[in-house]
C-alpha cells in the first residue's frame, strides 16, 4: 500500500475525510489536512494525530514531525466530489494549459459532468476540463 492509500484508509476509518497531505524538509515533516461535516476542531486533530503516529510506527513510516489540521477557509479542491460539494461557492483556479490565453480564473463553481467543470466568471459560463486544472482553492467569503 502506498503512503497516500495508507493515509486515506486510516483517516477515513476514523470518520474523517483526507483532504490533502504534503511532505517537506526531505520528508521529515508531514502535514495532513482532514475534514468532516460540521468542520474540524482541535480535539479532532489531536485524535487523528495520535492514531496516525501509532500507524506510522507499525508501518515503519519515517518522519520527525506530524501536523494535522483542518483544510482552512481557502480549502484546496482536488477531487471531482469537491467541486460538486462546493457548487455555488467562489473558487480560484489555475489551469495547466491556457484557455483563450488565460490560465488563472476566479469564479463561482456551478456543475460537474462528463469530466468538465462549469465555472461562472463575470456572468458567463466556462466549461473547464477537470484534467486541465492544476490548482484550485475556495475563496473565503468573509
Domains of the chain: 3-69 (3.30.300.70), 80-138 (2.30.30.100)
- Looking at the predicted structure, is the pLDDT value of residue 21 above 70? yes
- Percent of the chain topping pLDDT 90: 84
Q: What is the mean pLDDT of residues 93-109?
A: 95
Do residues 24 and 31 touch, judged by C-beta distance below 8 A?
A: yes
Q: How far apart (Å, rounded) are the C-alpha atoms in residues 89 and 85?
A: 9
Which pTM value belongs to this model?
A: 0.81
Task: For residue 67, count other CB atoms closer than 10 A to its CB.
Answer: 12
15 has pLDDT over 70:
yes
Give pLDDT, residue 27: 65
Q: How many CB atoms lie within 10 A of CB 112?
A: 18
Confidence tier at 121 by pLDDT (50, 70, 90): very high
Mean pLDDT of 60-85: 92
Give me the mean pLDDT over the 26-54 stretch. 93
d(CA 91, CA 98): 17
Query: 90 pairs with which residues across the strands?
Result: 108
Amino acid at each position: 500500500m502506498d503512503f497516500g492509500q495508507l493515509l486515506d484508509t486510516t483517516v477515513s476509518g476514523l470518520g474523517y475525510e483526507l483532504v490533502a497531505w504534503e511532505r517537506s524538509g526531505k520528508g521529515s515533516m508531514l502535514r495532513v489536512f482532514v475534514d468532516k461535516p460540521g468542520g474540524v476542531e482541535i480535539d479532532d486533530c489531536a485524535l487523528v494525530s495520535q492514531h496516525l503516529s501509532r500507524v506510522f510506527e507499525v508501518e515503519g513510516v519515517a518522519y520527525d514531525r506530524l501536523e494535522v489540521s483542518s483544510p482552512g477557509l481557502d480549502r484546496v479542491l482536488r477531487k471531482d466530489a469537491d467541486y460538486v460539494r462546493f457548487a455555488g461557492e467562489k473558487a480560484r483556479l489555475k489551469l495547466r494549459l491556457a484557455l483563450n490565453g488565460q490560465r488563472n480564473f476566479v469564479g463561482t463553481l456551478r456543475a460537474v459532468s462528463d469530466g468538465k467543470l462549469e465555472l461562472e466568471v463575470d456572468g458567463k459560463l466556462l466549461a473547464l476540463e477537470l484534467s486541465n486544472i492544476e490548482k484550485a482553492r475556495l475563496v473565503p467569503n468573509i
